[in-house]
Amino acid sequence: MKKRLALILAGIMAITLSACGGGSTSGSEAPAEAAVSETAESVAESAVEEAAPAEEETTESNLDAILADILANDTDGSFTRVKEAGVLTCGCEGNWIPYLYYDENDADNLTGFHAEVAKEIAKKLGVEIKFDVASQFDGILAGLQSKRYDCISEGLKNSTIEPFDGLTNSMLYNQDMPVIIVAADNTDIVDIASMNGKIAGNSTTSSYGKIAANAGCECNPDLDFAMAINGLMNGSVDLTVNSMVVFNRYLETYPEAADKVKVAFIYEPENVEDLQGGITLREEDQSLIAAVNACIEELLNDGTIIALSRQFMGDEFTENAILYQPYL
């Protein structure tokens, strides 16, 4: 395209020189020179317009080139394995609105923020996505360790996966805003210190469960979020830690619960990165990690992840998430 543009510009110069070559500046010849000038401008504008798509093609091909290079230098075979299978297998939950849940209009379609990000990553990799859906969180990390699937799409934080040998996170792409939820009439739980000795409806292996456990809570790992909320209502648990987004969506779905449960306070860690997470993979799969990182970076830069965050978490959350500020 650069050669073509150079030839077109050279032609424009030749036309212009030809028009001026006679040296005449009489009034009768001025319109002809003006016409030549207009023709040159028209050709130049056309050349620029034709050159523009090449920039888009270059942007698109940059990721393709990066992935091709990763594949060509795949010494551990992990990216090659996924490409040859034509499928990226992904472990996750299926009952975590708005992050991972089944579409009410299509019972076979797993959707939500993390599900859609995983689908976009697979699309960038040039493969299909296959979800291995668990009913509860416990066991998902062990499933990745045992090579049941290629990755986990839960937006897990680094602190959550640290105890699991051989696992690591991709480039971080999501941020959380945890809240401590209690019964509406609860006046005892107002801060971290007041959580000590209380019963929490959380799994001890989840990032939310770790917040509760570190505060001195006794955790009940057998409860999902809906069950934990019911536990608050019937008094079997004292609190549950979860996402503000999840809680707000729950109240939208079950508005009758608004006068039965409430947010006691928002959890604020010393380091905001403790609230950020990514795709979880095995450390040994270095080429697959590199490929997933390249895709996430592309999805952040092209606005795809920002759009998905707005769709599933809302504008207010997206615009206030520190992680997304460079991409807004």
- The per-residue pLDDT for range 18-58, each reduced to its tens digit, is 444 444 333 444 444 444 444 444 444 444 444 444 444 44
Residue from 148, 63, 113 nearest 279 by CA: 113
Distance CA 318, CA 328 (A): 9
- The per-residue pLDDT for range 231-280, each reduced to its tens digit, is 999 999 999 999 889 898 899 899 999 999 999 998 988 888 889 999 99
Residue ranges with strand state E in the chain? 87-93, 95-96, 100-103, 106-111, 128-134, 151-157, 167-169, 174-175, 178-183, 199-200, 218-219, 240-243, 261-266, 276-282
**pTM of the full predicted structure?**
0.69
Distance CA 215, CA 225 (A): 19
Distances (CA, A) of 253 to 95, 180, 261, 316: 14, 19, 14, 19
- The whole-chain average pLDDT of the chain stands at 85
Q: Which amino acid is at 100?
A: L
The pLDDT of residue 148 is: 97
Residue from 143, 195, 134 nearest 164 by CA: 143
Instruction: Evaluate whether 145 touches 163 at the Cβ level (below 8 Å).
Output: no
- The per-residue pLDDT for range 148-186, each reduced to its tens digit, is 999 999 999 998 999 999 999 999 999 988 999 999 999
